């Protein structure tokens, strides 16, 4: 690709010698800077597809040729009409120039070298099966008693019997994979249902069974060997032709690419290896992998050609035929001699000129529609960047061949293009390029994509005439916006469009399906054209009528010239049909200044000229076929996040579970960070980072682990994305959100979720005991209430048991439960989301527990990450700490407080102030509620009064943790009438006034 730079102001082209540009220095801050001129390269070679080689030449297709061709060894060419050969048909010449085939109930014969033709009848009762040069294989008789015969025929010879074929297995004959003048290789299914190769002697009719052919993709005949390759292997298998049932040998090779398949060829006794990619490189220097000679004796492979087409055929004298050359600029049809000497060119293949027909640009990516070494026009991408104040272009990268070749193909800014194609009457499809990157169906026969940003595209359909707004990522077409064709533009998830009032523009939030904004511009008409980019809204009353740009930040309208225009960030480009000029209007500072940037005899927006609305330059395809990239001199607005797709939950139960986030920016980023914080503790649990973005899309994922692979607690998390601008202009973009994580570390008082069968969700739950002896988990809904759906009950308990929701004692990442029955305390391990029953797996924690009249767990009191238990001795009111141990049991009791008999409620409350330590709430019989903050050492700070005259009618006090979803531990109480209340925690050890949650909570006990 040749590159030329010229200063726009002087329009002086800088000379280019030998393809190396001579750069003119540009003063810092110069306006508007130097433009970049790209010469799209000519292609070096067309595509060649070989069908078969004979004695005098080779049959092939050549890109650009109207018919198949027969090229003789002297380079002369004969066009082969479709009546003699249809491209793609199976053919075997077996060392001759004659093709035999069955058509119109006659055996057809043609000499491909001379064009001589003849046709014959086969003997009565014979059915044509296959031909191998001048040999014909037939079948007669009935199923189970078939007779196979080999006949000889040519353009000057009627079919004559050679021999009855002996040894050919009965049943279905499959296909021929290779043939020379001696033998043909037949692939067939034997009586044991095993695919095999067999050798059919074309001189005697004898058939010999060969090796298994399971997975075989290619087979060739050398002078003395049958060789083949197989799917999933990196080696060529072979057997001697004189002993085809011998144990196969292997010739190993190194694949030249990670994908693709081997292509085998033979030249005399030599085995040659090419390579075929399902989607080969289209650039001149990338097409055609090396052709390599492999050794049957273990010698090192030898490169025969640096570039070769992925089709190889062998002629009558054992010479291999291919298309290729020593370099990409010397391409032609070549013979690789059987004696190992250098390849010989026998026909030069002329260059195929490349033509660019359209271009588009987004986020610094210039995409051109141009012809290449494939049979179709293709899309190529070039990265445009600024280095030392000058625009530079990266190498061309193939994107995809053009399926329907639309006139214009908008770019999304996240690395995709969008096109529409017809699948039939009333059925169209809008697809992202490269293929497989999303799309959606429309109910119109045809469609034109009029705008696209990120995952959203606006399409005007015909037959019927409808407008569609769809999501490329999930295939949704928004029914509320499927409507009559109306001026519209999409920016992020907002569709800007007109209504019935002059000057009024509306923004529809596409996913939310509601009006998000309304603005009144200075237009005196209902706009006929609307475009949206960031803070800017362009409107026009017609090609020659008034036009303006509305600034959503200042609320003012900037008058701009009328005409065919395209909006970008801070500037507008239009083509003037009278002067034939492309004119750029800079309005970023609130006033419009216009200059000429180029000329075009016929300018079509989005086809031969375009703008980069994501903070980049503009570009146009000049009449001479060169692409001009023009810097605008306009500073883009600060980078912002214009669309967010982030999961709201993550179940981290397995390594296959991920939280995914995708953000669309207004312009590319130089780097980004994503901070994930636990809302309860406020601590950052993970920071993800990334470098410069290839476009405006940032995509990352989190497995719910720390950087060292450890699990994080279940619960609510915040994420904050910070993206630094690639152009260095303006502040960083910052976007935040929240999500819920489950399947991580167990959180205090969290046992079930609001959905049956779901894992614990990090939200505190309530455990109750009823008069039927059922312990029931009531899941909190994260909004401050307890759900009736998802409850888990286990019966069979005494109504006198005391339960304590506890931490995870067996490292299954699920909270467990302590239950005292009589004098015995046990820890029950129900797993996540399950009820606790007497039969649940459990471990005894000993006896002697009836002397305690209160059991509760505030969480972790000793800073070891394990839940601990507090018990009050009935006789003294003393408080004992039973610390959790690593084996899932409890350490011996340790007295930590004395004389607490005056407290009628003592409840473990979890972490009330976010310091990571379990806290305690107590109510004195005088009606004072106190907070004891944990120190993390097994002790508490001195009490702090929360309420006075509080709780006289309460019969239960429970600290279930956060049940409102704000990351702060809450308080739940029940009065003597069974009314349940919630006091919201403030994260500082205090609580709000009470809110009624439910009535009828007349349970025996709440835990």
pLDDT of residue 345: 96
- pLDDT at 3 > cutoff 70: no
CATH number at residue 886: 2.115.10.10
First to last CA, the chain: 75
- Asked, for residue 915, whether it belongs to a domain, the answer is yes
CA dihedral of residues 523, 526, 528, 529 (deg, nearest 10): 50
* 726 and 778 share one domain: no
* 737 and 820 share one domain: no
Mean pLDDT (whole number) for 934-953: 97
pLDDT of residue 472: 97
pLDDT of residue 614: 98
pLDDT of residue 173: 66
- Condensed to tens digits (0 to 9), the pLDDT of residues 182-217 reads 999 999 888 888 899 999 999 999 999 999 998 888
- pLDDT at 2 > cutoff 60: no
Contact criterion met (CB below 8 Å) for 614 and 668: yes
CATH number at residue 663: 2.60.40.4070
- Asked, for residue 555, whether it belongs to a domain, the answer is no
Query: Who contacts 365 (Cβ-Cβ below 8 Å, separation ≥6)?
Result: 381, 382, 383, 384, 411, 415, 694, 695
* 781 and 733 share one domain: no
Q: Give ∠ CA 910-911-912 in degrees, rounded to 5.
A: 105
3-state DSSP assignment of residue 849: helix
* 129 and 180 share one domain: yes
Contact criterion met (CB below 8 Å) for 183 and 177: no
pLDDT of residue 15: 25
- Of 226-235, 698-707, 722-731, 761-770, the poorest mean pLDDT is in 226-235
- pLDDT at 958 > cutoff 60: yes
- Of 226-235, 435-444, 623-632, 819-828, the poorest mean pLDDT is in 226-235
Nearest to 287 by CA among 208, 162, 378: 378
Tokens for 44, please give them: 């070096």
- pLDDT at 16 > cutoff 60: no
* 770 and 863 share one domain: yes
- Of 35-44, 510-519, 785-794, the poorest mean pLDDT is in 35-44
Instruction: Count how many domains the chain has.
Output: 3
Report strand pairing: 249-252 vs 320-325: unpaired
- Condensed to tens digits (0 to 9), the pLDDT of residues 340-375 reads 999 999 999 877 667 889 999 999 999 999 876 554
* 728 and 773 share one domain: no
- Asked, for residue 526, whether it belongs to a domain, the answer is no
- Asked, for residue 689, whether it belongs to a domain, the answer is yes
Question: How many Å apart are CA 983 and CA 967, to the nearest integer?
Answer: 14
pLDDT of residue 481: 77
- pLDDT at 6 > cutoff 80: no
Other CB atoms within 10 A of residue 760 CB: 28
Contact criterion met (CB below 8 Å) for 870 and 862: no
Residue-range definition of the domain harbouring residue 840:
766-1001
- Condensed to tens digits (0 to 9), the pLDDT of residues 587-608 reads 999 999 999 999 999 999 999 9
- Condensed to tens digits (0 to 9), the pLDDT of residues 165-182 reads 988 877 666 677 899 999
Task: Quote the percentage of the chain above a pLDDT of 70.
Answer: 93
- pLDDT at 505 > cutoff 80: yes
* 198 and 138 share one domain: yes
Q: Give ∠ CA 934-940-942 in degrees, rounded to 5.
A: 120
DSSP strands (E only) in 648-711: 649-651, 659-665, 669-678, 684-690, 697-702
Nearest to 599 by CA among 36, 8, 4: 8
Tokens for 268, please give them: 């005399």
Question: How many Å apart are CA 725 and CA 730, to the nearest integer?
Answer: 7
Question: How many Å apart are CA 795 and CA 837, to the nearest integer?
Answer: 6
Mean pLDDT (whole number) for 841-854: 98
pLDDT of residue 447: 94
- Asked, for residue 786, whether it belongs to a domain, the answer is yes
* 723 and 835 share one domain: no
Mean pLDDT (whole number) for 894-912: 97
Tokens for 777, please give them: 């988990």
* 681 and 786 share one domain: no
- pLDDT at 420 > cutoff 90: yes
Q: Is the dihedral of CA 191, 195, 197, 203 positive or negative?
A: positive
Which residue, 184, 214, 244, sits at the end of a domain?
214
What long-range pairs does 977-982 form, CB within 8 A, spacing at least 24? 977/953, 978/1002, 980/786, 982/784, 982/785
CA distances from 339 to 57, 313, 315, 322, 514 (A): 19, 16, 14, 16, 76
* 888 and 850 share one domain: yes
Task: Quote the percentage of the chain above a pLDDT of 90.
Answer: 77
Query: Who contacts 342 (Cβ-Cβ below 8 Å, separation ≥6)?
Result: none
Which residue, 160, 192, 214, sits at the end of a domain?
214
Tokens for 137, please give them: 């294989």
3-state DSSP assignment of residue 481: helix
What long-range pairs does 327-335 form, CB within 8 A, spacing at least 24? 328/44, 328/45, 328/284, 328/285, 328/287, 328/288, 329/44, 329/284, 331/44, 331/45, 331/307, 333/48, 333/58, 333/60, 333/71, 334/305, 335/73
- Condensed to tens digits (0 to 9), the pLDDT of residues 271-301 reads 999 988 765 555 544 567 889 999 998 899 9
Instruction: Describe the strand order of the beta sheet including 427-433 as a list of residue ranges.
Output: 417-424, 427-433, 439-442
- Asked, for residue 591, whether it belongs to a domain, the answer is no
664 forms beta bridges with: 643, 697
φ, ψ of residue 566 in degrees (nearest 5): -135, 130
3-state DSSP assignment of residue 479: helix
pLDDT of residue 426: 93
- Condensed to tens digits (0 to 9), the pLDDT of residues 813-840 reads 999 999 999 999 999 999 988 999 999 9
In which element (H, E) is residue 740 found?
strand 733-742
Nearest to 215 by CA among 261, 168, 265, 171: 261
pLDDT of residue 929: 98
pLDDT of residue 27: 32
- Of 166-170, 452-456, 882-886, 930-934, the poorest mean pLDDT is in 166-170
CB crowding 829-863: b at 16 or more within 10 Å, else e: bbbbbbbbbbebebeebeeebeebebbbbbbbbbe
pLDDT of residue 372: 64
Report strand pairing: 649-651 vs 733-742: parallel
- pLDDT at 8 > cutoff 70: no
- Asked, for residue 528, whether it belongs to a domain, the answer is no
Which residue, 177, 193, 214, sits at the end of a domain?
214
pLDDT of residue 967: 86
Question: How many Å apart are CA 719 and CA 755, to the nearest integer?
Answer: 24
Q: State the pLDDT confidence band at 266, using cuts at 50, 70 and 90.
A: very high
- Of 252-256, 316-320, 613-617, 952-956, the poorest mean pLDDT is in 252-256
Report CA 174 to chain centroid distance, whole Å: 40
Mean pLDDT (whole number) for 908-927: 96
Tokens for 574, please give them: 């239009």
- Asked, for residue 959, whether it belongs to a domain, the answer is yes
Q: What is the pTM of this model?
A: 0.72
Q: What is the mean pLDDT of the chain?
A: 91
Q: Is the dihedral of CA 895, 896, 902, 906 positive or negative?
A: negative
* 823 and 733 share one domain: no
* 712 and 853 share one domain: no
């Amino acid at each position: 690709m040749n590159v030329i730079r010229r200063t726009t102001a002087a329009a002086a082209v800088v000379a280019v010698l030998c393809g190396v540009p001579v750069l003119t220095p540009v003063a810092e801050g110069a306006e508007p800077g130097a433009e970049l001129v790209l010469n799209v390269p000519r292609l070096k070679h067309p595509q060649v597809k070989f069908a078969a080689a004979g004695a005098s030449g080779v049959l092939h297709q050549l890109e650009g040729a109207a018919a198949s061709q027969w090229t003789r060894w002297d380079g002369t060419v004969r066009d082969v009409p479709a009546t003699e050969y249809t491209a793609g048909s199976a053919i075997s010449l077996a060392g001759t120039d004659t093709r035999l085939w069955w058509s119109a109930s006659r055996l057809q014969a043609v000499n491909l070298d001379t064009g001589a033709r003849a046709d014959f009848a086969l003997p009565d009762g014979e059915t044509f099966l296959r031909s191998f040069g001048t040999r014909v294989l037939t079948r007669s008789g009935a199923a189970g008693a078939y007779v196979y015969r080999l006949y000889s025929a040519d353009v000057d010879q009627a079919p004559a019997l050679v021999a009855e074929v002996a040894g050919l297995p009965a049943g279905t004959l499959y296909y021929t994979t290779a043939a020379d003048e001696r033998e043909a290789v037949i692939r067939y299914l034997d009586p044991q249902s095993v695919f095999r190769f067999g050798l059919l002697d074309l001189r005697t009719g004898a058939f010999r069974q060969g090796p298994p052919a399971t997975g075989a993709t290619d087979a060739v005949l050398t002078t003395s060997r049958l060789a083949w390759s197989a799917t999933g292997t990196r080696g060529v298998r072979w057997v001697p032709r004189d002993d085809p049932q011998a144990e196969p040998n292997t010739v190993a090779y190194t694949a030249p690419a990670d994908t693709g398949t081997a292509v085998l060829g033979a030249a005399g006794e030599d085995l040659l290896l090419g390579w075929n990619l399902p989607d080969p490189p289209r650039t001149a220097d990338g097409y055609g992998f090396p052709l390599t000679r492999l050794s049957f004796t273990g010698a090192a492979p030898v490169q025969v050609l640096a570039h070769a087409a992925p089709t190889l055929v062998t002629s009558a004298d054992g010479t291999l035929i291919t298309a290729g050359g020593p370099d990409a600029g010397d391409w032609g049809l070549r013979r690789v001699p059987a004696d190992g000497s250098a390849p010989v060119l026998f026909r030069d293949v002329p260059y195929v000129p490349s033509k660019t027909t359209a271009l588009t640009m987004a986020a610094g990516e210039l995409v051109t529609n141009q012809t290449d070494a494939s049979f179709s026009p293709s899309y190529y991408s070039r990265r445009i960047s600024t280095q030392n104040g000058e625009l530079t272009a990266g190498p061309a990268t193939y994107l995809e061949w053009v399926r329907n070749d639309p006139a214009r193909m908008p770019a999304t800014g996240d690395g995709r293009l969008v096109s529409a194609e017809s699948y039939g009457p009333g059925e169209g499809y809008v697809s992202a390029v490269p293929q497989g990157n999303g799309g959606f169906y429309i109910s119109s026969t045809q469609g034109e994509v009029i705008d696209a940003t990120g995952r959203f595209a606006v399409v005007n359909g015909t037959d019927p005439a409808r407008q569609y707004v769809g999501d490329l990522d999930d295939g949704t077409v928004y029914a509320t916006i499927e409507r009559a064709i109306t001026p519209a533009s999409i920016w992020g998830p907002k569709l800007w469009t007109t209504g019935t009032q002059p000057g009024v523009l509306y923004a529809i939030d596409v996913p939310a399906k509601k009006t998000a904004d309304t603005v009144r511009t200075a237009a005196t008409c209902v706009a006929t054209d609307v475009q949206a980019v960031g803070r800017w809204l362009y409107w026009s009353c017609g090609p020659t009528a008034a036009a303006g740009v509305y600034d959503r930040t200042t609320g003012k309208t900037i008058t701009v010239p009328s005409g065919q225009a395209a909006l970008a960030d801070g500037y507008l480009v239009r083509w003037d049909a009278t002067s034939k000029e492309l004119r750029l209007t800079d309005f970023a500072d609130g006033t419009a200044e216009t200059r000429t940037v180029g000329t075009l005899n016929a300018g079509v927006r989005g086809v031969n000229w375009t703008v980069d609305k994501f903070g980049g330059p503009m570009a146009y395809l000049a009449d001479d076929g060169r692409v001009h990239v023009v810097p605008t001199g306009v500073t883009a607005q600060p980078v912002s996040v214009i669309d967010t797709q982030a999961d709201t939950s993550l179940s981290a139960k397995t390594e296959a579970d991920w939280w995914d986030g995708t953000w669309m920016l207004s312009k590319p980023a130089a780097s980004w960070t994503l901070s994930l914080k636990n809302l309860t503790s406020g601590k950052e649990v993970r920071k993800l980072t990334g470098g410069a973005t290839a476009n405006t899309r940032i995509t990352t994922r989190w497995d719910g682990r720390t950087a060292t692979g450890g699990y994080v607690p279940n619960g609510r998390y915040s994420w904050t994305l910070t993206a630094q601008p690639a152009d260095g202009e303006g502040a960083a973009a910052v976007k935040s959100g929240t999500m819920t994580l489950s399947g991580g570390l167990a959180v205090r008082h969290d046992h079930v979720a609001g959905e049956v069968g779901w894992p614990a969700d990090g939200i505190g739950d309530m455990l109750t005991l009823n008069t039927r002896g059922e312990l029931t988990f009531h899941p909190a809904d994260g909004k401050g209430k307890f759900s009736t759906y998802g409850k888990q009950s286990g019966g069979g308990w005494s109504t006198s048991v005391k339960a304590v929701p506890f931490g995870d004692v067996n490292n299954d990442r699920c909270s467990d439960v302590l239950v005292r029955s009589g004098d015995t305390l046990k820890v029950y391990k129900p797993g996540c989301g399950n009820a606790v029953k007497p039969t649940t797996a459990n471990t005894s924690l000993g006896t002697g527990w009836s002397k305690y009249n209160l059991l509760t767990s505030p969480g972790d009191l000793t800073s070891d990450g394990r839940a601990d238990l507090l018990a009050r001795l009935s006789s003294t009111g003393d408080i004992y700490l039973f610390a959790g141990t690593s084996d899932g049991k409890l350490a011996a009791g340790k007295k930590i407080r004395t004389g607490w008999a005056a407290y009628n409620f003592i409840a473990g409350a979890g972490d009330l102030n976010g310091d990571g330590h379990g806290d305690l709430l107590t109510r004195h019989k005088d009606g004072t509620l106190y907070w004891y903050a944990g120190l993390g050492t097994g002790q508490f700070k001195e009490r702090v009064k929360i309420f006075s005259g509080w709780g006289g009618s309460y019969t239960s006090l429970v600290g279930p943790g956060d049940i409102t979803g704000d990351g702060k531990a809450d308080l739940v109480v029940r009065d003597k009438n069974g009314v349940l209340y919630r006091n919201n925690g403030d994260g500082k050890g205090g609580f709000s006034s009470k809110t009624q949650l439910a009535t009828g909570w007349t349970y025996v006990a709440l835990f």
